[in-house]
Amino acid sequence: CGRLVVVGTGMVLGGQITAIAKSEIVNADHVFCLVDGLCEQWLSGLNSSLTSLQKHYAPGKYRPQSYRDMVDAVIKAVRAGQSVCLVAYGHPGIFACVPHWAIKAARDEGFEARMEPGISAQDCLYADLGLDPGTHGSQSMEATQYLIYCNRIDPAKLLILWQVGLAGEISLTHFETDRARLSLLMEKLMADGYGMDHEVIIYEAAMLAMMPVRMERIALSRLPEARLSGISTLVIPPAFDLKPDQAMRARLRALGPLKAD
């Protein structure tokens, strides 16, 4: 009977895939992939029964419809009784809805479905930029989501804004942003407490072993003119120190040494 496993390739082609993910790809009856052309070629060497889902994107097509069409294609193969592997780049469950929707759709129809983790852009940025999410705490948000919701971020923690190259593209039909939308993003960040001179980092992890990493540090005021692409992530270091909670510290001290219950 049909089953679905969703795996990630990691970011660096051929170099960051886990042994489990590779084995799932090799042993699947059918592999669907949502990766770039080079990675597609590499995957076809692991399993010749490969279908790219990129064809469901089309200029001007509403992106959620493209995602639904991708899920339908995957589920059709699962229903046909195949052992299906869906491959996405990076970690398949991080800022990627098709893998999550496909797993839900398969489980809703009673099929076995699971996800294997992979190395995401965020994992690479911690390594390349020498940042530890444990130092100040870390928050991750999709850039447009940050713009269109009122929930506040905390400028004392590291902030990672994904899909900044599409920031403010609310029609969900295009894959870029522009100066006006980036100006609004800059304004909102300033309203949240970051100064105009605060340094932000445009980060693009290497996707080929010999490719350089982009780590461009600019003042927040220069964000509207920044050159961004579909693989840019905006990293915003904390603007303030964490504020000690003196009342909680006092309560913890008052508890004295830890006792076994």
Catalytic residues: 63, 67, 89
The correct pick among 39, 204, 235, 238 for binding ligand SAM (CB under 6 A) is 204
Q: Which of 141, 157, 152, 161 is nearest to 239 (CA)?
A: 157
- Number of neighbours of residue 160 by Cβ within 10 angstroms: 22
CB 260, min distance to ligand SAM, A: 42
144 binds ligand SAM, rule: CB under 6 A: no
The correct pick among 42, 95, 101, 126 for binding ligand SAM (CB under 6 A) is 95
Contacts of 237 (CB under 8 A, 6+ apart): 131, 158, 198, 199, 200, 201
230 binds ligand SAM, rule: CB under 6 A: yes
Contacts of ligand SAM in 113-132 (CB under 6 A): 120-121
Beta pairing class for 50-52 and 158-162:
unpaired
**CA 6 to each of CA 47, 153, 186: distance values in angstroms, whole numbers, following the listed order:** 15, 31, 36
32 binds ligand SAM, rule: CB under 6 A: no
203 binds ligand SAM, rule: CB under 6 A: yes
CB 184, min distance to ligand SAM, A: 18
CB 238, min distance to ligand SAM, A: 20
Residues in the interface with ligand SAM (CB under 6 A) total 19
207 binds ligand SAM, rule: CB under 6 A: yes
* Residue 66 vs 120, nearer CB to ligand SAM: 120
96 binds ligand SAM, rule: CB under 6 A: yes
233 binds ligand SAM, rule: CB under 6 A: yes
The edge-to-edge listing of strands for the beta sheet with 112-115 is 50-52, 30-34, 83-88, 3-8, 112-115
205 binds ligand SAM, rule: CB under 6 A: yes
- Number of neighbours of residue 90 by Cβ within 10 angstroms: 23
162 binds ligand SAM, rule: CB under 6 A: yes
Closest residue to ligand SAM using C-beta atoms? 90
Three-state SS string over 52-66 comes to: ECHHHCCCCCCHHHH
CB 11, min distance to ligand SAM, A: 6
163 binds ligand SAM, rule: CB under 6 A: yes
CB 245, min distance to ligand SAM, A: 32
94 binds ligand SAM, rule: CB under 6 A: yes
Applying CB under 6 A, which residues contact ligand SAM?
11, 88, 90-91, 94-96, 120-121, 162-163, 165, 203-205, 207, 230-231, 233
